[in-house]
Amino acid sequence: MSTKETNENDSVLAPGETEQTLTNRQGHPITDNQNIRTIGNRGPSTLENYHFIEKISHFDRERVPERVVHARGAGAHGYFEAYGKLGDEPIAKYTRAKLFQTAGKQTPVFVRFSSVIHGGHSPETLRDPRGFATKFYTEDGNWDLVGNNLKIFFIRDAMKFPDMVHAFKPDPVTNVQSMGRFFDFVSQTPEATHMITFLFSPWGIPANYRQMQGSGVNTYKWVNAEGKAVLVKYHWEPLQGIRNLTQDEAEKLQAKNFNHATQDLYEAIERGDYPAWELQVQWMSDDAHEELDFDPLDDTKLWPPEIFPMLPVGKMVLNKNPENYFAEVEQVAFGTGVLVDGLDFSDDKMLQGRTFSYSDTQRYRVGSNYLQLPINAPKKRVATNQRDGQMAFYVDIAPGQNPHVNYEPSSLGGLQETDRPGAPYEPFYSDKLTRATIDRQNNFKQAGETYRQFSQAERDELIANLANALSGCTTFIQEKMVSYFTEADADYGARVAEGLRQAKANGLGTAGHVGTHPANEGMEIAEKLGQQTDGY
């Protein structure tokens, strides 16, 4: 097949676009195809050069696996309806992104919920952050809002992501997940204390996908028509309420159904009980905010809502189940770099790293032409100079485009750049290019605040889970973690230390096993179960 088959999306043009306008595979009109983004016009370049990285990475693959993280997932179709305001103010004051501007404007979406560490057929009752990724099919091309159920993360620098995942995944020798390895990494990563406080409380096991929060986790920017920007964080609040499980409840549920969250989402939509979330946004001016005792770009931190209120901007409703799990839920591909005009990157070091990693892993996992799959393709025209590669379904060629010209610029009938829809946002940088941690780390304060805000039942569950998980770790790791919890809150540290003393007195530990405490308990039970029989 030499050209793309005609479909209803070919005629969808953004304002200012013509059929000859150059876009990328997300359907975003390209305003500058000559220059990569750099600090000053001589460089260096920055990692969030999304158009360049997409262009060069596809070029690298022009000649002709299960997700590493977020393998276990469920998904659904729906729509996002804008309120047209940020709180009580017109949203145009803060962003020119078209999907937000008009009250009642609906944008199609696809959402994938997932667990993070465990494999594709793992139980949905395991303690693990949950992914919450939303693909908006906007008139300007796709926007992917990729996040988790929890509003923070374990680390603040993308350099550590492979190490973190390796430590949390099964042991490369035993192929069994080990709390010794898990806490070995965490004990050397003090900024993880806040996330650990959430993860080992009931917040670490959401009861289902419909009744859990979502968050973009990273800090982004909004840009208005004048080219002025603010820092923002995104939060999904479930209108069904929030529900979490204790460890005991999760184990009882897992004994009966380890697909319960996927089944719950599917059945709710089938019976017309459509789940909905309100999208709320926090914002602050785009500067370092030295008045705060933390860096606002640090994704191990919450922005205090009493200072930076959660302001509603729209509502999302999921009202249609996938027609085929593999074609939609398994092959859907998200990336933090997939932004539309009016949305931009911040200098958040985790976001900068994720922006390359997410799209690159999709090219590896699904293929270099993953954006031609129906679930990933924007619902508007696409015209690129990208060609060939594995599983190229069609050519992104515009009506009347010279088929001999797959480059730009050209005077022979090729694609052309479009005008910029608003003033560019051009932040100023004047600093050394360096490798260094941020100044305001403050690794423990918010962990203590979160601990004190928990109910008594949540604190009790947190302590019990941590004592069980740490009981099989070395004394050095136990003492290091207790020191972190004590830094966060004296009662927090004292209770975990006492829990560990009781665990030792009760003989709780590895007992010759290599797994987590619940897994080791299962091994003890397994030794006593089963009916002996003769062969046949």
CA neighbours closer than 13 Å in the CB half-sphere of residue 314: 22
Percentage helix, strand, coil for the chain under 3-state DSSP, each rounded to 5: 30, 15, 55
- Say which residues have a Cβ less than 8 Å from residue 181's Cβ, sequence separation at least 6: 167, 168, 171
Q: How far apart are CA 425 and CA 407, in angstroms?
A: 27
Residue pair 202/149 in contact (Cβ under 8 Å)? The answer is no
Instruction: Tell me the three state secondary structure of residue 222.
Output: strand
Burial 242-265 (b: 16+ CB within 10 A, else e): eebbbbeebeebbeeebebbbebb
Q: How far apart are CA 187 and CA 476, in angstroms?
A: 9
From 28, 58, 70, 118, active-site residue:
70
From 24, 49, 142, 148, active-site residue:
148
CB-based burial of residue 363 (10 Å sphere; 0-12 exposed, 13-18 middle, 19+ buried)?
Answer: buried
Known catalytic residue at 51: no
- Say which residues have a Cβ less than 8 Å from residue 144's Cβ, sequence separation at least 6: 133, 134, 135, 136, 334, 335, 336, 338
Burial 96-110 (b: 16+ CB within 10 A, else e): bbbbbbeeebebebb
CA neighbours closer than 13 Å in the CB half-sphere of residue 155: 20
Backbone Cα Rg of the chain: 25
Known catalytic residue at 148: yes
Instruction: Tell me the three state secondary structure of residue 12.
Output: coil
Residue pair 382/17 in contact (Cβ under 8 Å)? The answer is no
Instruction: List the one residue out of 105, 143, 137 whose CA is nearest residue 8.
Output: 137
Cite the active site residues. 70, 148
